[in-house]
Amino acid sequence: MPTADKLYEKTVLSNGVRVVTGEMTGVRSASLILYFGVGSRYERAAESGVSHFLEHMVFKGTERRPDPITISQEIEGVGGILNAATGRESTNYWFKVPSTHFADAFDVLADIVRNSVIDETELDKERSVIVEEIRSVNDSPEDLVHDVIDDLVWGDQGVGRPIAGTEATVRAITRDGMVDYWKRNYRPDRLVISAAGDVRHADVVALAERHFGDLAATAEPDTFEPTRNDQREARVRIVDRETEQAQLVLAMPALPYTTDARYVQSTIEAVLSSGMSSRLFQEIREKRGLVYSVYAYFRPYEDVGQGVFYAGTDPERIDEAATALIGEMRRMRDEPVPDDELARTKELRKGRLLMGLEDSRSVASWIGSQELTYGEIRTPEEVTERIEAVTVAEVQELSQQLFRRDVMNVALVGPYKDAERLAQIVAGL
């Protein structure tokens, strides 16, 4: 079933697996992404980290491919790339190969996500690897501050817990518990198979039918509880640590991806943080010289979102950096974005969107993530129309909704103790 302009095609297998493709001319690569609609926020608190742990384990071997080196060599031996990622609402496995090897690579990816043996010895070895991964975050102030802010904003809810879990929860995960989680949640109605590049839709559907046509739902899947947010005043959390640079994050609840106002929200992000001409870069780095790295982003989920402002600064200039970040929020909220700045931002967004779709993996990600998230695929042209439609008034109205002192959260990792001072700075918003 092609889309309106025949850029993308979609077929739903009889068991509910969705297959989407984007055929590209002039490329010799082919990419495949298997999206499963389950991630860390679906986990119970006691099993936090199991989605990420499982993602690691499927690469450890199947009956046909008994070890990780066999799996990786089949892809890398033809020049391909193989990887995976776990998020809070989805997990994906992907490869990119020369298109002549697409069918063989499809067999590899299908085999590992369906037939991994989850060997007990390998499980214990990988457990140690993940524990070290968690410790590396705790040893990296720039990574740690993002875990701190997530917990500060959301607490012990799925969107607030670390995707990798904690040392305690990872150590408690058993093979039986992991396999049960895997079988419950890697089910046909949660799977989107997305392919792009030098591929043909009918061929991809045939491969999907061969490898996933018999996938069945065997038990009730896990679900997540809607996120609660009852914040009424600013919150500050400091991890006082002797570091050469202080890591500062300000964050607030934001919009989910289920509203069309997300296009306004992403426009605000672009004004603040897209490129060297953005406001944060120009004002806080170039004009004030406060930081080397500064940025902002919005992370939307199904029922809620989160806005994040980050700056890494000299410990002696923490107050100044925090004041500058608050100043840019206040500017977005209180002053309409000039027409010419909004127009430039729109052109930047549209240009980067189009340039980002020149690679087969990018196109597979574009169509697969949209299908998984929204159940439909918008073309780049349809999205650019939505970007172009954003108005100055909408940007200011949403900024007023988002940038409020009563929902502001501040996390800092560095040699600093004055939480009251940071709270006073936020009070200036």
Q: HSE-up of 237 (CA within 13 Å, CB side)?
A: 16
Query: DSSP per residue over 284-338, as a string?
Result: IIIIT--EEEEEEEEEE-SS-EEEEEEEEE-GGGHHHHHHHHHHHHHHHHHSPPP
- The CB density around residue 247, as the number of other CB atoms within 10 Å, is 26
Nearest to 220 by CA among 189, 184, 187: 184
Alpha helices in 27-140 (DSSP H): 50-57, 68-76, 102-115, 120-138
Residue 237's region, left for phi above 0, alpha for psi from -120 to 50, else beta, is: beta
Nearest to 393 by CA among 267, 259, 305: 267
Q: Strand 409-414's sheet: what is its strand order? A: 235-240, 409-414, 246-254, 305-313, 291-300
Q: Which helix (H) or strand (E) element contains residue 98? A: strand 91-98
- The CB density around residue 61, as the number of other CB atoms within 10 Å, is 22
By CB neighbour count within 10 A (0-12 exposed, 13-18 middle, 19+ buried), where does 103 fall? middle
Q: HSE-up of 203 (CA within 13 Å, CB side)?
A: 17
CA distance 391 to 397: 10
Rounded to a whole number of angstroms, the distance between the first and last alpha carbons of the chain is: 51
The answer to whether 55 is a known catalytic residue is: yes
| Structure token digits, residue 264 | 């306004």
| DSSP 3-state of 381 | helix
List 55, 74, 283, 371, catalytic entry: 55
Which residues are tagged catalytic?
55
